[in-house]
Amino acid sequence: MNKRLVAALGTVVLGGAVIAGLGTYVASAKNDSRVLAATPAGTMETPQGKLPHYTLEMAAYPDSMAGSHGKDGGVHADWVTYGPVTNFQVPAHSAITITIKQYDSGARLNNDFFATVHGTIDGTATINGVAVKSVDPEAVGHTFTVHGLADAKSSLFVSVPLPAVPDEKLPPTGYTTNPTTVTFTFITGDAGDYVWNCEYPCGDGTTARFGGPMSTQGYMAGNFHVVNA
Amino acid sequence: MTTVLDHPTSAPGNSAMKRPLIERLNVFTAFGLGIISAIVFWYLARTFLPENTEGSFIKTRLDAVTIIAMLGWFFGFMTGIGALIGPFRWLLGKDLDHDESMFYAGKDQGIKRYFRYTTDHKVVGIQYLVITIIIFFVGGTLAMLIRMNLGHAGGGWLQPQTYNAIVGTHGIVMIVGTIIMITGPFGNFIMPIMIGARDMAFPRLNALSFWLIVAAIPPMLSSFFFGGISTGWSAYAPLASQAPPGMDGYIMFIVIFAISTMVAGANITTTVVKMRAKGMTWNRTPIFIYGVVASVALALPVFPLFFLSQVMSAMDRAVGSTFYDVRGGGSGWLYENLFWIMGHPEVYVILIPAVAALMEMAPVFTRRPLFSFNTAIMGIAGISGLSILVWAHHMYVTGWAPLLNGPFMLTTELISIPTGMLFLVLIGTLWRGRLWMTMPTASIYALLWNFMIGGITGIYLSDVPVDGALHGSMFVTAHFHYTLMGAGLTGALASLVFWFPKMTGRMFDRRLSWIAFWLVQIGFNVAFIGMFLVGLAGQPRRVDAYAALFNQGNSVTTMAAYSIMAGMLVLLYGVISSWTNGAIAPMNPWFAKTLDWTVPNPVPLENFEVLPVVTSDPYGYGKAQS
Amino acid sequence: MSDLDVKKRPSIFKRKDVRLTGFLWVIFSVAIGYFAGEVQTRSMGAPASDTMATTINMMKVFTWVSAPIAGLVGALAATTLLSKLHFGDTPPEEADHEIRNSPRIVSGWIVVSAVLCLFAVVWGMVVLQKDDAALLNPKSMNVNVVGQQWVWNFDYVDNGKVRSSDLYLPVNKPVVFHVTSKDVIHSFWIVQMGIKIDANPGYLTETSVTPNKIGVFDVRCAELCGLLHAYMQTKVHVVSQADYDSWIQSQGGKI
């Protein structure tokens, strides 16, 4: 009889091990752990006083040949993607300047709200050298929108539209040499885990064009960690 | 093998090939033909389907190809298992002869009959038992992955798309598992013996209903490789039309499973109505039979709607229709209605047989008659009847029809009356009984406890203003786990221990059954009370990450979930070890009075040598009037 | 089926098990009502609107009303467990009675559960009516709520072209939310105010509330809406009317 109890315990251990193994495999296989940390750039005078300054550079591509999907674009070479990676890390209580090079064409947003710049210093972003508060909602390529859980002590909501590269300026193959360059600066609050995603409907042809790359982290969505420096 | 594949349908006409064909088909040929057929269909669809047109609302080609390949799998599998031989022969005008029928019934085939299209209800019952265990193992593993993710402070251990796929698959796998967990194994194995019948009314439909479930599982599991079921088990449109091709696996799974349920429902209902033993009048029919019939008969009118809702979902995805797409004149509310017209009766499809099974055991383990048999029947009938009138309580906050919230609140709260009757019957039977403490006896108490919590929290949720605060939160998740798992699964595990001796000829290891019982019940209550608390505090359902405020509750739930896991694994080991070398069971180990205990172990092919005649109800326990 | 009750025993309330049950019934009912009620109230936190206060109150009353039922079932079950238990491979003796029914108990049980059920329905209807009537209050301010995967945004239609991602509300002023979605179904939920309504693409749904406490509260999405459903959350800032007006002006709106 006692042999049975030992065997039952063995089953539990074995079953637990199987489940733990499976969990670890699923978590690691599906988790893109590559994180791009912001580079320090001295200090910056902001409305909140002098703060440490950091910069971050990224790009939005019309397919996955660039970015972090490998040489042949990975499983979904035709999906739009951000690059060089899709997880970012910035310090808390700092001024963060992000520069995004946008290589894609575009059209109308689902929601004009995202044609306006939100959450940056002065509510402006610099687009190809010109500071603006909002752009034409009919010609947006992508957006970079950071948001998080409601309970965070200080909330972070930053949304910046990335205007489209006009169709006639897109080369037939490869990427344009003249991407839209968007630069903006915002101030982070307390440390916390946020996410970012694109709010321009650039996914596959499903409902609201929000399927495919829009619904997959590693393409048009990712993590945005604010950490204590 | 090649002969089978080359001439799957010409064989019945060829008398030389006839025997070998029937005898050659089994689960392996089914999987082989299914896979080959899926590849052929996939290739043809990919080659011949037109490209997407620019103007279509929804991208359709990939989904059309996926669905056609899955249909190919389905037809191939059913042909390969031999489901078409009977109908084909019937069309030719020469039905199976006696020897063939006996072969179909699994005569003298030993273990092989479990891997074939076998019609014997006892074989089907065992097959259902094994598939239920497999389904629970898959669903339970997914549940543990969910809890591992949420146990991590703040969540976020798995990527959101992975997490969503796991949640959706866990949901639908468990729903299907709980739907079949009693009417499948025990409804098929025990029920015909209990009513004194030699087999089901339609033995071939019985085999069909089982193999349809087997055919349905691979499309569902395949969804993991196509983006997963990312919508939760309810698969609301339009989220479902946005989901990756994994959604097609869900659709196919539901479509096939709904057919299986309808087939099983027609079969079981007919069997009980027409084939009860002589003298088994309706008030001598055991209460478990009522539970099984209520369950499957309730599924009969509602599962076609589930079927329909998924066919329409498939059309939205694959041929560009707009049933649920507001841009084309459709509405997501249409889906919600179709879904919940099935969805609410379905929880009673799960619950009623579990409660009825425990009612069947209660007199046995208290050695006194069932208290108020008529009340039990009224309760079961009342729940079944009302349950098809309450679906929109899942839609109070959808904005579909605010004016109907009042009426649906009324019907929903009325259900508490027949539910109360079931409590009365159980508690009345325990009262002044002589308690024989076994794991099933303890399960009756566990059911009373869990179902009471599940029921009262259900009353909160049925109230529209309260639902406004709690809908879509973890509170709801905890509530329905209390009913489906706390009440439903508890009844099913008790049934397993109770009928194990009859089904396998061996006793279930008593000590292991107790250990499993306590690990599962304690773990369950701690886990889901914790979930109630985070729900009350405002944690939404189906989230992979959450605010720090919910850390504590979630880690408690996760730790307790490990106890459930341990309990279920002990039970699994108990099944395996008791089945292989448990103590040999006597014919009637529980000294019960229903007909299922009057047949020897193992139960002979047609159950009864001489059909029994029933002269009283099976609850004549207790000393004469003292 | 014999409907024979126990032989008339005038002394039923003197039986030991009946007395024990009665004693346990009282204890269990009070314990359940108190404990469950406390746990709920504490977990749900401080309400930020009358709607939420009513909800918490309703749950508390429902708990106290169902406590005697749960307590009775618990007391009966506990009493049976306190009787002599039999373990082993063979059954105990048969019970010393064969009571099969008791029409009095059954009908009493049904009547009591029907009355409690009726109470819950009627009260629910009354509160529901109040909530519905609030939608028609002409003094309410209006806010359009738009859900788009996975961000909420708010239009202050009474104040010109003001839009925001955090919700700002003046305290003690009724507000009607007109909710819609740009893509899939979301559910707009202000946790501490106890209101929730789905955001459906192509339709407007409405709900209303009067915030009665200054502070910061949570908006969460309560309907699985895809990848970042967990993060579809934002804050509600309930401020004084003066602060609200200055916020509106700072956003370029008119008061």
pLDDT in tens, B258-285: 999 999 999 999 999 999 999 999 999 9
Contacts of A19 in chain B (CB under 8 A): 141, 144-145, 565
Angle at B511 between CA B510 and CA B515, to 5 degrees: 120
Contact C59 B460 (CB under 8 A): yes
CB contacts under 8 A, C 26-85 vs A, are none
* Residue C40 contacts residue C59 (beta carbons within 8 Å): yes
How far away is chain C from the Cα of A208, in angstroms, using its nearest Cα? Answer: 5
Q: Please, how many CA atoms are within 13 Å of residue A113, restricted to the half-sphere of its CB?
A: 27
Asked if C149's CB is within 8 angstroms of A210's CB, the reply is: yes
Chain B to chain C, count of Cβ pairs less than 8 Å apart?
Answer: 281
Q: Where are the domains of chain A?
A: 1-31, 33-227
Contact B133, B173 (CB under 8 A): no
3-state secondary structure of B53: coil
Using pLDDT thresholds of 50, 70 and 90, give the confidence band for residue C12. confident
- pLDDT tens per residue, range C62-86: 999 999 999 999 999 999 999 888 9
With a CB cutoff of 8 Å and minimum separation 6, the contacts of A84 are A36, A58, A59, A67, A68
- Residue B286 tokens read as 């055991």
Per-residue confidence (pLDDT) for residue B10, from 0 to 100: 42
How far, in Å, CA of C242 to CA of C238, rounded?
11
Q: Is C22 left (phi over 0), alpha (psi -120 to 50) or beta?
A: alpha
- Chain position carrying tokens 């009889």: A1
Rounded Cα distance, B587 and C79, in Å: 33
| Distances from the Cα of B617 to the Cα of B287, B360, B372, B440, B614, angstroms | 10, 12, 13, 21, 8
Of B156, B566, B577, the CB nearest to A7: B577
Residue pair B396/C127 in contact by the 8 Å Cβ criterion: no
Nearest residue of chain A to residue B570 (CA atoms): A8
Strand partners, A31: none
Number of Cβ pairs < 8 A linking chain A and chain B? 105
Q: Does A223 touch chain C (CB under 8 A)?
A: no
φ/ψ of A217, rounded to 5, equals -65, 145
Q: Give me the pLDDT at residue C2, please.
A: 45
Q: For chain A, 229 residues long, give each residue's pLDDT as a single digit of tens.
A: 588 889 999 999 999 999 999 988 888 876 677 889 999 998 998 888 899 999 999 999 988 888 788 778 888 888 899 988 999 999 999 999 999 999 998 888 989 999 999 999 988 999 999 999 999 999 899 999 999 887 766 678 999 999 999 888 888 888 888 899 999 999 998 888 899 999 998 887 777 888 888 988 889 999 999 998 7
- Here the tokens at position B105 are 């019934």
Q: How many angstroms separate the CA atoms of B81 and B50, rounded?
A: 33
| Cβ(B365)–Cβ(B435) below 8 Å | yes
Q: Which residues of C touch B242 (CB under 8 A)?
A: 183-184, 226
Q: Do A26 and B562 touch (CB under 8 A)?
A: no
Q: Could you tell me if B418 and B379 are in contact, meaning their C-beta atoms sit under 8 angstroms apart?
A: yes
Binned at pLDDT 50, 70 and 90, residue C10 comes out as low
Q: Residue B511: its chain A contacts at CB < 8 A?
A: 1, 4-5
* A192 in Cβ contact with C202 (< 8 Å): no
Q: Does A170 touch chain C (CB under 8 A)?
A: no
Q: Count H helices, E strands: chain C?
A: 4, 10
What Å distances lie between residue C7 and B478, B491, C99, C102, C105, CA to CA? 44, 34, 10, 11, 15
Whether residues A155 and C234 touch (CB distance < 8 A) is answered with yes
Task: Report in angstroms the alpha-carbon separations of A88 from A35, A196, A226.
Answer: 5, 9, 9
C148 vs C225: CA distance, rounded Å: 9
Q: B-contacting residues of C 107-166, CB under 8 Å?
A: 109-110, 113-114, 116-117, 120-121, 124-125, 127-128, 131-132
Flag whether residue B511 sits within 8 Å of chain A, measured between CB atoms.
yes
Q: For residues B480 and B401, what is the distance between their CA atoms, to the nearest angstrom?
A: 24
Alpha helices in B230-331 (DSSP H): 239-242, 246-274, 287-318
Identify the closest residue of chain B to A210 by CA–CA distance: B242
Q: Are the CB atoms for B255 and B170 separated by under 8 Å? A: no
Say which residues have a Cβ less than 8 Å from residue B212's Cβ, sequence separation at least 6: B78, B256, B257, B259, B260, B263
Contacts of A197 in chain C (CB under 8 A): 149-150, 227-228
Check if B521 contacts A (Cβ < 8 Å): no
Q: At residue C1, does pLDDT exceed 50?
A: no
* Whole-angstrom distance, CA of residue B242 vs CA of residue B424: 47
- Per-domain boundaries in chain C: 12-83+100-134, 141-250
Q: Which of C54, C102, C179 sits opposite B465 (nearest CB)?
A: C54
Which residues of chain C make contact with B432, given a CB cutoff of 8 A? 17, 80, 95, 97, 99
- Kindly state the tokens that stand for C222: 């309560």
Q: Find the DSSP H helices in B184-245.
A: 185-194, 203-222, 239-242
- Alpha-carbon span B341 to B331, nearest angstrom: 16
Domain formed by C141-250, architecture: Sandwich (2.60)
Query: How confident is the model over B603-626, as pLDDT tens digits?
Result: 998 899 899 999 988 998 887 654
Question: What whole-number distance in Å separates Cα of residue B228 and Cα of residue B249?
Answer: 8
| C166 vs A114, A155, A217: nearest CB | A155
pLDDT of residue B5: 41
Q: Give the A:C interface size as CB pairs under 8 Å.
A: 75
Q: Cβ B591–C90 below 8 Å, yes or no?
A: yes
B232: CB partners within 8 A, 6+ apart: B164, B167, B168, B171, B542, C224
B622 vs C114: CB contact, 8 Å cut-off? no
Task: Give alpha helix (H) positions in B232-245.
Answer: 239-242
**What pLDDT is recorded for position C49?**
94
Q: Which domains does chain B have, with CATH numbers?
A: 1-118 (no CATH), 119-598 (1.20.210.10)
At B54 the pLDDT is 60
pLDDT value of position B573: 94
What is residue B285's predicted lDDT score, i.e. its pLDDT? 94
Element (H or E) spanning A226, and its range?
strand A221-227
Using CB atoms within 10 A of its CB, is residue B331 exposed (0-12), middle (13-18) or buried (19+)? buried
Indicate yes or no: CB of C227 within 8 angstroms of CB of A150. no
Cβ distance C234 to A147 less than 8 Å, yes or no, reads: yes
Dihedral angle at the C-alpha atoms of A204, A206, A210, A214, nearest 10 degrees? -40
The residues, any chain, with a CB within 8 Å of residue B129's CB and separated by 6 or more, are B184, B185, B189, B496, B503
Residues of C in contact with B326 (CB under 8 A): 200-203
pLDDT for position A173: 81
- What is the chain A residue with the closest CA to B148? A23
Rounded Cα–Cα distance for residues B38 and B14 (Å): 27
Across the interface, whether the CB atoms of C184 and B626 are under 8 A apart is answered no
Q: Are B123 and B209 in contact (CB under 8 A)?
A: no
Window 224-243 of C, Cβ < 8 Å to B: 224-231
- The top-level CATH class assigned to A33-227 is mainly beta
Contact A169, A62 (CB under 8 A): no
H helix or E strand, kind and range, residue C145 = strand C141-148
Asked if the Cβ–Cβ distance from B469 to C55 is below 8 Å, we say yes
C227·A116 Cβ contact <8 A: no
Would you put residue B538 in left (φ > 0), alpha (ψ -120 to 50) or beta? Answer: left
Looking at residue A202, what is its pLDDT?
Answer: 85
Q: Which residues of chain B fall short of a pLDDT of 70?
A: 1-20, 53-59, 624-626
- How is residue A193 written in tokens? 């885990």
Interface contact A11-B565, CB threshold 8 A:
no
Alpha-carbon distance B306 to B308, whole Å? 5
- Look at the pTM and tell me if it is higher than 0.90: yes
